[in-house]
Structure formats: C-alpha cells, structure tokens
Amino acid sequence: MDFIQTVFLGAIAGFTIYLGLPLGRIKGISDGARSFLSMTSAGILLFLLIDIFTKLSEPIKAAIVDNKNYSEFFVLLTIFIIGFGVGLLGLIAFEHQFIKFRAVAGQALSPTRLALMIATGIGLHNFSEGLAIGQSAGRGEIAFAALLIVGFGLHNATEGFGIVGPLIGGGNRPSWAFLGLAGLIGGGPTFIGTIIGYYFLSSAMFVLFLSLATGALVYIIGELFHINRRPGTKFQAGWGILVGFTFGYITDLILTIAGI
C-alpha cells in the first residue's frame, strides 16, 4: 500500500464521521436505535482493541524472547506505558477540563458548544487512530492497516451522532455549516495522523502510536458503555456489541483469507 493509497483510505476512515452527523437534523430517533448503533461501534472497537494490543506486543516480546535485548525490551515497555497513559489519561483530562469541570462550576455549556467540545475530544482520539493506520501501512502490515481502516471508518460513522447527541430533541437543529465544521474537527485528525504515521517508521514509533490508539480506545469504549447503560435499552445494546464484535472478527478473517 503506497503513500497515496494510505492517505486516501485514511481520509475515508476519518470522514465517515459525516455519515452520522445528519442524524442531528432528524427528529424521532428512538433510544433503542441509538443504543444499538452506539454499542455496535463499541463492539467493533472492542475487537480492534484486542487486535491492536496483540500487534503492539509483538516487538516488545520479540526484544526479550528472540533477541535477548533487555535494554530494547525495557525501552519499548516504557514507551508502551507512556503511550497508553497519554492516550487514556489525556482524554480524561480533556473531558474534565472542558466539559465536566465547567458543568460542576455552574458554567453550563450550550448544546452547540458542548457538541463542539465532544467533536474536539473525538478528534484527539482519531489522531492516534490515524497514526496507527499510517504506521502499520508504512511497515508493510497491509492486512492490519486495512482492518484498522475498515474498523475505524465504521466507528467514526457512529461518532457523528455522538457529536450531535446534545442537539437531538432539544430544539437546537444544527445547520449544515455547523455539521461540516464538527465533522472536520472530529474526522480531520485521522487524515493528518495517517500522513505523520506513514513516515515515522521504527519499532519505537510503532509501539508508541499503537499504544496511544489503545489508550484512546479504552477511554472511548468505557464512555460508550457508560452512556448506554439504560435499563430500557440493555437488550438493544447487547445485540449491538454482538453485531459489532462479530463484524470486526469476520472482517479480519476475510482479510486474512484474501492474503491482504
């Protein structure tokens, strides 16, 4: 997969976020339907989390098992811990600083501003996803890069209605210009991350970028589970997780069988 193909597919993975944004202009979406779509995304991300963790563990294990290089092992392990911590705690800090903190302090955010803050938080985690895509493609991990593109692309499509969630049903029907801006903030970093990740090739960068994505995924999955813990939609949420995880697994099987 050359640079142009990688960047093009990375752009698609990022800008599928626009598929979900128009839901902000539609009235009458049931809680069950939204829960199903959100947890389908969580199921896909859960599979990706397992697959990404397996991949980033390979060079760490190889350093001590195959190469008996203890210094490289400790360096890569440290990079993993730092990357995972930044990917996870960085988004938690962002949420605390810009959303929860102001809400607790009594500085209520308007639905429009809250939606933009959510888009910014999603953009931060999408940047790490783009880094993972670019790094994998640049290293020749074509099947893995393709899986990331498919999985992240599908997930980003559901992130769109996560952004416009505060605007649904509150009489704040967003304009098309606002949706365009929100999509650029949330999806654009995937494209930028893909470009950067493609050119920074090393075991250290591979572990760093994937660990950043892993930390971000843990945060996002946790938020999706928290948001969708409603007694009336547990059944739909359960089906969503099953469908999403199964889809991710079957996609991986197809790519492996096709020899991509």
pLDDT at 184: 93
pLDDT, position 68: 83
Neighbouring C-beta atoms of residue 177, cutoff 10 Å: 8
Query: According to the model, what pLDDT value does residue 102 have?
Result: 52
For the chain of 260 residues, list the mean pLDDT of each consecutive stretch of 10.
83 87 74 78 82 85 86 93 89 69 51 72 76 84 82 76 64 80 89 87 82 83 77 86 86 68
At residue 73, the pLDDT reads 92
Amino acid occupying residue 23:
L
Dihedrals φ, ψ of 155, to 5°? -65, -45
8-state DSSP, 259: T
Q: Return the axis-axis angle of helices 234-257 and 31-65, rounded to nearest 10°.
A: 40
pLDDT at residue 108 in the model: 47
- b/e for 58-89, b at 16 or more Cβ within 10 A? ebbeebeeeeeeeebbebbeebbeebbebbbe
105 Cβ neighbours under 8 A, 6+ residues apart: none
Contact 206, 139 (CB under 8 A): yes
Collapse the DSSP code of 10 into the 3-class scheme (helix H, G, I; strand E, B; otherwise coil) and give the result. helix
